[in-house]
Amino acid sequence: MKIYYEKDVNMDVLKDKTVAVIGYGSQGMAQSRNMADSGLDVIVGLRKDGDSWETAISHDMPVMTVEEASKEADVIHVLIPDEIQAQVYEKSIKDGLKEGNTLSFSHGYNIHFQYINPPKKVNVTMIAPKGPGSTVRQQYLDGFGVPGLVAVEQDYTGDALQVALAMGQGSGLTRAGVLETTFKEETETDLFGEQVVLCGGATELIKAGFETLVEAGYQPEVAYFETCHELKLIVDLIYQKGFAGMWNDVSNTAEFGGLTRRDRVITDESRKEMKKILEEIQTGKFAKEWALENQSGRPQLNRMRAIESELEIEKQGKKLRKLCGLEK
């Protein structure tokens, strides 16, 4: 395992070079502003008169079209959604690439699954904050930073790693530490984490627990507090202190009950499904499924979004978050 800190970075590799950040969503906004505040020459590439155009200008960021920014820059850092990256690359970035440029990402998806195939005479790198854009920005302003990942898929100039690390330092990531990985490892573990634990697994577990209590006749408000609201408190403890620290901070009753019953919830069958999901990611089956979903107008995703919005736990959550002052 190799972790890089500020002492390991040569910022001179970006001296007199321009970094174009393509996109101004959560990550684009945070990373571009952090790098600009760190003294890097940053421009933002956006769709002309799109939703983010005026926002970027209001933040005093130089704004160009994606085509203009790609031609102008030495480093093109692509931070638009995965599902449109290949289309935008072909239409607006590819022709602007020059020999020795660096094509950079914060997620390896389109390179790893070969939806984007860069020319041989450019660097292909990744610098990926391990936190949402709002946290990346706030931690930077607070004088620290979130940890990150760095990877080099193609090193044409011989200093691609240092280019990526310099961008990471500009965003504040090397203050916390940047772990070296590969496009393959980052992509596959990221998708697995999202699907099995962080987004898919966690929400299904919360929903199932809530519905079990409500179906047994308990008040939905109480069920929400016990299965959803308090989860943040537990996750925060794990984040700060690990499993052992969390067990130490909860009651002995909670510790005994959790340790003796958790494998009845996450069973051998659950673990088998986890392995199947990982295999679907590794073989590219999920990526093909997601590509087809986008090509057909996302009918399955739109249907599931509509169902999700009508869940009882969502209705209770909205009401109780207002009660707790978490939502207006």
pLDDT-based confidence at 70, cuts 50/70/90? very high
For the segment 272-306, what is each residue's pLDDT rounded down to a tens digit?
A: 999 999 999 999 999 999 999 999 999 999 999 99
When pLDDT is cut at 50, 70 and 90, the band that residue 16 belongs to is: very high
The pLDDT value recorded for residue 220 is: 95
Q: What is the pTM of this model?
A: 0.92
Residue 35 tokens, joined: 């790098």
Among 30-34, 48-52, 217-221, the least confident range? 48-52
**Weakest mean pLDDT among 12-21, 114-123, 309-318:** 309-318
Residue-wise pLDDT tens digits, 208-260 = 999 999 999 999 999 999 999 999 999 999 999 999 999 999 999 999 999 99
Tokens of 250: 């909860």
78-116 as b/e, with b when 16 or more CB fall inside 10 Å? bbbebbebbebbeebbeebbeeebbbbbbbbbbbbbebb
- The predicted model gives 299-317 an average pLDDT of 94
pLDDT at 51: 83
Sheet holding 3-4: strands in order across? 3-4, 178-180, 148-154, 123-129, 102-105, 75-78, 18-22, 41-46, 63-65
Residues 184-209, mean pLDDT to the nearest whole number: 97
Binding residues for substrate: 251
The more confident residue out of 318 and 243 is 243
pLDDT value for 326: 81
| Statement: residue 50 has pLDDT above 90 | no
Q: pLDDT tens digit string along 173-182? A: 999 999 999 9
Which range has the worst mean pLDDT, 80-84, 239-243, 319-323, 324-328? 324-328
Q: Which residues are catalytic?
A: 107
Q: Which residue has the higher pLDDT, 49 or 239?
A: 239
Look up the CATH superfamily of 3-181.
NAD(P)-binding Rossmann-like Domain (3.40.50.720)
Structure tokens at 132: 């949402």
What pLDDT shows up at residue 161?
Answer: 98
- Return the domain boundaries, the chain: 3-181, 191-323
Amino acid type, 64: M
